[in-house]
C-alpha cells in the first residue's frame, strides 16, 4: 500500500475538474471514499474564446482552497487522444532481456526519438515464464511527447503540488474496470482467470470518446473523434442557437417544447457516432477473431445525453449500460452526495487514478518524468544525508588531529633536500605528460577527420544505387495498363515513405522479428539471418490491385512481385531502356512484411481517385475530380461542383503494408556476381553476368507512379544517411 496515506485522483478535462480522495483500510481490506470535488469550467476549454491555461489554473486554485491535500498523494490524468498506446506480442525471450527487447520495439513503434518522449511499459497477462524465458507475453507500451507531459504538470508545479502518478486516462479507466467491475485485486492477481467475453467501455468526453475493449487481461484502446461538443454544435447550426443555449437544450432535450425537433437535429451526429464505433469494433474483431463482446458500458457526462443509450443499443445490437454505482468502494458521505451522484459517470477516471496510486491495480505504469521522481527521492533523503555527513566530518576531524600531532614530531631537516628534488621531477614529468597528451589528441583528431572525409569516396554512389534498385523492384503499370482508369486493375505499388535505421549487428533486428513476420522468407533465409553492421530499410506502401480471381491480390501480390524482385541480383522492367539494374547484389537481403492490417474499403470515384475522408490513419491526398463530378469533401460527402452531376463511386480494397529488408552497402569491387544467367523481371538476362557491374546513372528517380523517391515524406535522402562506422 502507499504508506496508508490518502490519495487524490484528479482528472482535469475540457469541461471541468473532477477529483476523488480514497483511503485503504487494511484491516477491513476495503477502499474508503473520504472526499470528492467537482468544479466545472466557466467555459469549455476548446471554445474559441476560452484560455485553457487560465481556466485550468482557476479550477485548481479553487480545488486547493476547498481541500487540504497536505500529506496526501496526488495522481493526475493525461488525455488519451494525445498519448500513444501499443500492445506488442513478444517473441520467446530471456526474462532478463525483456526490457531490452521492449526498448527496441519502442524505437520502432514510437514515431519520435525516445529522447523526445516519456514512455513506460508493463507486461500484461497471457505470458508464462519457464526456465528463465518469457513465452507468449504481451507488453503494453505507452508514451507521450515530453512537452505535453510537462504542460499537464505545469499548473500543479506552479501551485507547489507534488504529483506521484501521471497516467493516461484510458489506462485509469482500465484500472477502474478491472478493480470495480471485474473484481481483480493485486492479492489475487495471479489467480485471476480472464473471462472469454470482453466489455466495451465508452468514455464520452467533450471533443472525443475513448473506446476501450478489455476482459481484464487484454486491453485495446481507440480514440473516436466524436464527443459531446459535436452534438452541441449540431444544435447551434440546425436550430440557430448560441453555444450556451444549445448546450442547455442538449442536456434538457426531453423537457424542451419540441423534443422531436431536437432529436432530428442531432440525428446526423448520432449516425456518425454509431458509424465510428462500428468501424472500431469491426477492426478489433478482425485482429482478435476469438474475442467475444458481451456489452457496452458508458461513462463520462457526455453519456447522459438523452436517447444516446437507446440509440446505441438499437444500432449496435449490444446491451448498453451506464455506470450508476461504484461497487468496490464504501463511504456514504461521498457516494450519496447529490453532486457526486449526479456526476458519478465522470468520476470513473479519477477513481481509477486513486486506485493505482494506492497500489491496488494490475496496471502500474506512469509517465511522471524521471527527473522529477529522482529529485523528489533526493529531497526525501536529504535529512539522512546531512546526519551522515556530520558523522563523517566528526570522524575526519579526529583523524586529521591525530595526523597533525604525529607530523609535528617528525624531523624534516634530513629529508627536505630529497623531497624538494622529487617534487621538481614530478612537476617536470607532469608538464611533459600534458604536452604529450595534447599532441597525441591533436594527431588522433586529424587522423579521425581524414578518415571521415575519405570514407565517403567509396560509398558516395551506394545510396543512390539503393534508391534506384528499390524503384526498379516495384511493380508498376506498363503498356496498355498506363491507360487503365480502374485502380484495381493496375499492378502498382505506391511507396508512402522510405526510411533507414543503422544497426551495429543486424542479428538484433532479425531476432526481434515475430514468427509471422518471417512467413515469406525462404528456408535458407530463415536458417541464416543477416549479421554484422548494416541498415534496416523500411518501406511503408499501399496498393489497390485486385485481380479477377482475387487469389493474387492483397499481400500475395506483394510477395510475388516486390518481395521476389528484391531477391534478384538484377532487375530490368519493361519500361527500362537503360539495361539491367543491380538489386540484391547491392547488399539487400531478407525482405519481410512486418505489418499487414486487413484491407480497408474506400470509395473510388469515376475520376479514378479514392474518396477523401476514407483514408485510415495515415493520409492520402484525394484526387482532383473530373469536370462534371463534384470533388469529395473532408467528411467524405460530395462537396463543391455542379449540382446536376452526381458523383459515382464503388467500394475497393486499399491494402497497406510495411516491408523491411536488411541492407549492407556493398562496394562494386566486393559484389558477388551470380554464377548463372537467371532471367530477371521482364524476361531479360543481364548482359554482364560474371563481371563487376558499373553503376548506371539514375534516370528520373522520383518520377512516375510506383517509384521510390528520396523526396517522399518521411524518407531519408542519401546525403543524410551516414556511412557505416560513422
Strand partners, 36: 20
55 CB-contact burial (10 Å; exposed 0-12 / middle 13-18 / buried 19+): buried
Q: What is the pLDDT of residues 6-55, one digit of tens each?
A: 999 999 999 999 999 999 988 888 999 999 999 999 988 888 888 999 99
3 state SS for 259-316: HHHHHHHHHHHHHHHHHHHHHHHHHHHHHCCCCEEEEEEEECHHHHCCCHHHHHHHHH
Give the span between the Cα atoms of 498 and 566, in whole angstroms. 15
pTM of the entire predicted model: 0.56
In degrees rounded to 5, what are phi and psi of residue 699? -110, 115
Give the span between the Cα atoms of 355 and 349, in whole angstroms. 10
Q: What is the pLDDT of residues 208-235, one digit of tens each?
A: 999 999 988 889 999 999 999 999 989 9
For the chain, helix (H) and strand (E) counts, in that order, are 18, 24
404 CB-contact burial (10 Å; exposed 0-12 / middle 13-18 / buried 19+): exposed
Give the span between the Cα atoms of 593 and 556, in whole angstroms. 11
Give the span between the Cα atoms of 285 and 293, in whole angstroms. 9
Give the span between the Cα atoms of 637 and 174, in whole angstroms. 36
Q: Distance between terminal CA atoms of the chain?
A: 50
Query: Mapping DSSP to helix (H, G, I), strand (E, B) and coil, where does residue 478 land?
Result: coil
Give the span between the Cα atoms of 584 and 570, in whole angstroms. 7
Scored b (16 or more CB within 10 A) or e, 337-352 reads: beebeebbbbbbbbbb
pLDDT of residue 162: 94
- Could you give the angle at the alpha carbon of 77 between the alpha carbons of 195 and 190, nearest 5°? 30
pLDDT of residue 714: 36
413 CB-contact burial (10 Å; exposed 0-12 / middle 13-18 / buried 19+): exposed
Query: Mapping DSSP to helix (H, G, I), strand (E, B) and coil, where does residue 440 land?
Result: helix
Please report, for residues 155, 157, 377, 388, 389, the alpha-carbon distance to residue 381 in angstroms, rounded to integers and kept in the order given.
Answer: 26, 20, 6, 11, 12
pLDDT of residue 406: 55
148-153 contact pairs (CB < 8 A, 24+): 148/78, 148/82, 149/78, 149/118, 149/367, 149/369, 150/369, 152/76, 152/78, 153/76, 153/369, 153/372
- The answer to whether 496 and 618 have CB atoms below 8 angstroms apart is yes
Distance of CA 608 to the CA centre of its chain: 33
Q: What is the pLDDT of residues 245-263, one digit of tens each?
A: 888 888 888 888 888 888 8
Give the span between the Cα atoms of 573 and 466, in whole angstroms. 16
- Could you give the angle at the alpha carbon of 113 between the alpha carbons of 109 and 115, nearest 5°? 125
pLDDT of residue 622: 33
Q: Which three cell numbers stand for residue 212?
A: 476501450
DSSP symbol at 116: G
- The answer to whether 365 and 122 have CB atoms below 8 angstroms apart is yes
447's CB contacts (< 8 A; 6+ apart) are none
26's CB contacts (< 8 A; 6+ apart) are 1, 4
Give the span between the Cα atoms of 593 and 663, in whole angstroms. 15
360 CB-contact burial (10 Å; exposed 0-12 / middle 13-18 / buried 19+): buried
DSSP symbol at 215: S
Neighbours of 62 (CB within 10 A): 13
Give the span between the Cα atoms of 366 and 171, in whole angstroms. 10
DSSP symbol at 620: -
- The answer to whether 214 and 174 have CB atoms below 8 angstroms apart is yes
CA nearest to 606, candidates 650, 551, 638: 650
In the predicted model, residues of the chain with pLDDT beneath 70 are 1-3, 125-127, 187-191, 381-417, 450-460, 549-551, 606-648, 675-726
642's CB contacts (< 8 A; 6+ apart) are 628, 630
**HSE-CB for 719 with a 13 A CA cutoff:** 1
Q: Which three cell numbers stand for residue 58?
A: 482557476
DSSP string, 526-566: HHS---SSEEEEEEEEEE----TTSTT-HHHHHIIIIIHHH
Q: What sign has the CA pseudo-torsion 328, 333, 338, 343?
A: negative
Return the residue matching grid coordinates 457526486.
340
pLDDT of residue 134: 80
DSSP string, 175-205: HHIIIIIS---GGGGGG----SEEEEEEEE-
- The answer to whether 202 and 277 have CB atoms below 8 angstroms apart is yes
pLDDT of residue 550: 61
265 CB-contact burial (10 Å; exposed 0-12 / middle 13-18 / buried 19+): buried
Amino acid at each position: 500500500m502507499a504508506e496508508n496515506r490518502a490519495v487524490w485522483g484528479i482528472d482535469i478535462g475540457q469541461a471541468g475538474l473532477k477529483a476523488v480522495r480514497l483511503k485503504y483500510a487494511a484491516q477491513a481490506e476495503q477502499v474508503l471514499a473520504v472526499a470528492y470535488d467537482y468544479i466545472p469550467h466557466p467555459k469549455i476549454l476548446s471554445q474559441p474564446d476560452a484560455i485553457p491555461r487560465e481556466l485550468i489554473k482557476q479550477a485548481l486554485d479553487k480545488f486547493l482552497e476547498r481541500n487540504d491535500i497536505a500529506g496526501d498523494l496526488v495522481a493526475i490524468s493525461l488525455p488519451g487522444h494525445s498519448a500513444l498506446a501499443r500492445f506488442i506480442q513478444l517473441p520467446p525471450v530471456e526474462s532478463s532481456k525483456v526490457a531490452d527487447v521492449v526498448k527496441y520495439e519502442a524505437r520502432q513503434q514510437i514515431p519520435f526519438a525516445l529522447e523526445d518522449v516519456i514512455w513506460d511499459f508493463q507486461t500484461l497477462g497471457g505470458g508464462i515464464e519457464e526456465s528463465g524465458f518469457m513465452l507468449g507475453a504481451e507488453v503494453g507500451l505507452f508514451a507521450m511527447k515530453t512537452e505535453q507531459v510537462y504542460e499537464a504538470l505545469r499548473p500543479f508545479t506552479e501551485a507547489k503540488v507534488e504529483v506521484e502518478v501521471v497516467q493516461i486516462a484510458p489506462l485509469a479507466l482500465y484500472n477502474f474496470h478491472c478493480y470495480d467491475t471485474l473484481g481483480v485485486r493485486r492479492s489475487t492477481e495471479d489467480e485471476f482467470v480472464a473471462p472469454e467475453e470482453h466489455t466495451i467501455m465508452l468514455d464520452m468526453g467533450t471533443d472525443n470518446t475513448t473506446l476501450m475493449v478489455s476482459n481484464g487481461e487484454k486491453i485495446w484502446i481507440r480514440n473516436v473523434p466524436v464527443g459531446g461538443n459535436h452534438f452541441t454544435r449540431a444544435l447551434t447550426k440546425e436550430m440557430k442557437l448560441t453555444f450556451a443555449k444549445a448546450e442547455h437544450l442538449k442536456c434538457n432535450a426531453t423537457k424542451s417544447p419540441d423534443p422531436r425537433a431536437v432529436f432530428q437535429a442531432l440525428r446526423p451526429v448520432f449516425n456518425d457516432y454509431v458509424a465510428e464505433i462500428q468501424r472500431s469494433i469491426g477492426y478489433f474483431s478482425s485482429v482478435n477473431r476469438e474475442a467475444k463482446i458481451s456489452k457496452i458500458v458508458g461513462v463520462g457526462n457526455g453519456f447522459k445525453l438523452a436517447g444516446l443509450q437507446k440509440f446505441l443499443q438499437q444500432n449496435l445490437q449490444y446491451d448498453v449500460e451506464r455506470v450508476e454505482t461504484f461497487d468496490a468502494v464504501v463511504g456514504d458521505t461521498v457516494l450519496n452526495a447529490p453532486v457526486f451522484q449526479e456526476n458519478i459517470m465522470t468520476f470513473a477516471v479519477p477513481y481509477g487514478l486513486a486506485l493505482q496510486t494506492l497500489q491496488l491495480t494490475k496496471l502500474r505504469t506512469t509517465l511522471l518524468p524521471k527527473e522529477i521522481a529522482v529529485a523528489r527521492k533526493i529531497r526525501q533523503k536529504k535529512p539522512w544525508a546531512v546526519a551522515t555527513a556530520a558523522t563523517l566530518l566528526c570522524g575526519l576531524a579526529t583523524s586529521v588531529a591525530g595526523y597533525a600531532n604525529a607530523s609535528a614530531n617528525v624531523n624534516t631537516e634530513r629529508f627536505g633536500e630529497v623531497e624538494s628534488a622529487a617534487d621538481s621531477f614530478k612537476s617536470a614529468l607532469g608538464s611533459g605528460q600534458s604536452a604529450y597528451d595534447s599532441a597525441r589528441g591533436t594527431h588522433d583528431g586529424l587522423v579521425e577527420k581524414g578518415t571521415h572525409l575519405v570514407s565517403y569516396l567509396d560509398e558516395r554512389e551506394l545510396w543512390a544505387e539503393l534508391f534506384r534498385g528499390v524503384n526498379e523492384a516495384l511493380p508498376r503499370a506498363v503498356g496498355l495498363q498506363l491507360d487503365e482508369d480502374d485502380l484495381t486493375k493496375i499492378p502498382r505499388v505506391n511507396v508512402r515513405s522510405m526510411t533507414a535505421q543503422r544497426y551495429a549487428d543486424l542479428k538484433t533486428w532479425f531476432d526481434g522479428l515475430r514468427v509471422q513476420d518471417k512467413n515469406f522468407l525462404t528456408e535458407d533465409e530463415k536458417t541464416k539471418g543477416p549479421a554484422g553492421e548494416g541498415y534496416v530499410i523500411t518501406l511503408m506502401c499501399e496498393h489497390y490491385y485486385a485481380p479477377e480471381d482475387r487469389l493474387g491480390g492483397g499481400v500475395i501480390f506483394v510477395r510475388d512481385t516486390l518481395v521476389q524482385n528484391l531477391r534478384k541480383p538484377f532487375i530490368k522492367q519493361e519500361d527500362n531502356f537503360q539495361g539491367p539494374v543491380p538489386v540484391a547484389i547491392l547488399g539487400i537481403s531478407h525482405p519481410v512484411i512486418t505489418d499487414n492490417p486487413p484491407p480497408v474499403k474506400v470509395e473510388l470515384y469515376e475520376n479514378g481517385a479514392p474518396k477523401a475522408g476514407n483514408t485510415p490513419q495515415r493520409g492520402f491526398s484525394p484526387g482532383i475530380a473530373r469536370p462534371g463530378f463534384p470533388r469529395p469533401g473532408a467528411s467524405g460527402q460530395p462537396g463543391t461542383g455542379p449540382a446536376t452531376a452526381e458523383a459515382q463511386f464503388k467500394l475497393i480494397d486499399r491494402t497497406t503494408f510495411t516491408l523491411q529488408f536488411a541492407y549492407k552497402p556493398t562496394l562494386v569491387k566486393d559484389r558477388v556476381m551470380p554464377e548463372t544467367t537467371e532471367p530477371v523481371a521482364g524476361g531479360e538476362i543481364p548482359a554482364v553476368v560474371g563481371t563487376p557491374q558499373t553503376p548506371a546513372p539514375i534516370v528520373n528517380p522520383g518520377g512516375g507512379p510506383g517509384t521510390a523517391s528520396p523526396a517522399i515524406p518521411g524518407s531519408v535522402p542519401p546525403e543524410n544517411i551516414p556511412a557505416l562506422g560513422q
